């Protein structure tokens, strides 16, 4: 099965992306093939080395150098660099023969097979994504009020299955630029906020405890499930661990359970 993956990183995050990709390969069926599309402002310094490493993972590297012309009318600043638009405008940036792609942040670790997520039927949806678990959906209610949306659903865009065929019909760059121009002081996580403000109603929910497990919320998951989603359950069922926030697992002072697991995959990936 061919699976299209999408990242948006610069030279500083190439090694983080490699850890994510290595973990995907280690937990995938051997006959899965992966096309890795990477949105970037300019070619990576070590693009040839990256291509070789991905070949060893039986993955193909497809660099996508973003054209400046697409952002001629975009509001840009230090807080709103071009890169915040990349996942939102994936349908404008990727080859037109692609119908589906799975976008992933580079602070994600795969510990089980992602194939079932990729096979999600998106016929009637623009995206599939997860809402992070919390008590009484307080996060969703707060963001519904903050963003003035019709739904309390608030999706995390770090794992985003994109129906590119539908996106080419409904995603409007000018509308995205207008939202940021009109609400730039209200947006906390700009690209994620815009996605929710414009397209939450067109997004199919998937369980975060499976496909976007926020490692900061381990106790919340356990409390919500009355202890069912313990560490053993996570190892058996969770596909993506997402290291949200500033305490990244590759930092020297990261020493919790989930950081230990990440550091293991990071060490193994260096053998490439």
Per-10-residue mean pLDDT of the chain, 272 residues long, equals 96 97 97 97 95 97 92 76 88 96 98 98 96 58 50 84 97 90 72 88 95 93 90 96 94 93 96 83
The reported pLDDT for the residue numbered 1 is 93
The reported pLDDT for the residue numbered 134 is 60
How many other C-beta atoms can be found within 10 angstroms of the C-beta atom of residue 174?
9
Q: Which residues of 256-267 are buried (b: 16+ CB within 10 A; e: fewer)?
A: eebbebbbebbe
Q: Which residues of 191-215 are buried (b: 16+ CB within 10 A; e: fewer)?
A: bbbbbbbbbbebbbebebbbbbbbb
The packing angle between helices 14-26 and 257-269, to 10°, is 90
The reported pLDDT for the residue numbered 170 is 95
37 neighbors 5 (Cβ within 8 angstroms): yes
Q: Count H helices, E strands: the chain? A: 12, 10
157 neighbors 129 (Cβ within 8 angstroms): yes
Question: How big is the chain, counted in residues?
Answer: 272
| Topology classification of domain 2-269 | Spore Coat Polysaccharide Biosynthesis Protein SpsA; Chain A (3.90.550)
The reported pLDDT for the residue numbered 152 is 58
Strand stretches in 14-134, DSSP E = 33-40, 59-65, 100-104, 108-110, 127-131
Residues in Cβ contact with 270 at an 8 Å cutoff, skipping those fewer than 6 apart = none
Q: How many Å separate Cα 39 from the centre of its chain?
A: 13
Query: Phi/psi zone of residue 77: left (φ > 0), alpha (ψ -120 to 50 degrees), beta?
Result: beta
| DSSP β-ladder status, 100-104 and 59-65 | unpaired
The reported pLDDT for the residue numbered 224 is 87
Give the CA count within 13 Å in the CB-facing half-sphere of 167: 27
């Amino acid at each position: 099965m061919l699976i299209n993956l999408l990242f948006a990183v610069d030279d500083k995050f190439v090694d983080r992306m490699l850890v994510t990709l290595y973990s995907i390969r280690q937990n995938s069926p051997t006959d899965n093939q992966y096309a890795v599309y990477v949105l970037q402002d300019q070619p990576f310094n070590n693009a040839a080395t990256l291509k070789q490493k991905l070949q060893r993972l039986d993955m193909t590297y497809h660099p996508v150098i973003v054209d400046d012309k697409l952002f001629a009318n975009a509001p840009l600043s230090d807080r709103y660099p071009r890169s915040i638009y990349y996942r939102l405008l994936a349908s404008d940036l990727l080859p037109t023969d692609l119908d589906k792609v799975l976008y992933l942040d580079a602070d994600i670790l795969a510990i089980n097979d992602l194939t079932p997520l990729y096979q999600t039927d998106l016929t009637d949806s623009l995206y599939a994504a997860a809402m992070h678990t919390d008590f009484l959906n307080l996060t969703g209610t707060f963001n519904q009020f903050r963003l003035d949306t019709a739904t309390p659903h608030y999706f995390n865009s770090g794992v985003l299955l994109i129906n590119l065929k539908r996106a080419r019909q409904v995603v409007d760059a000018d509308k995205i630029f207008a939202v940021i121009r009109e609400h730039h002081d209200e947006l906390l996580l700009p690209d994620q906020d815009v996605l929710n403000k414009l397209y939450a109603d067109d997004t199919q929910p998937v369980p975060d405890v499976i496909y976007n497990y926020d490692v900061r919320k381990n106790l919340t998951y356990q409390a919500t499930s009355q202890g069912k989603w313990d560490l053993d359950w996570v190892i058996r069922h969770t596909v993506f661990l997402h290291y949200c926030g500033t305490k990244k697992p590759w930092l020297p002072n990261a020493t919790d359970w989930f950081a230990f697991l990440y550091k293991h995959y990071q060490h193994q990936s260096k053998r490439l």
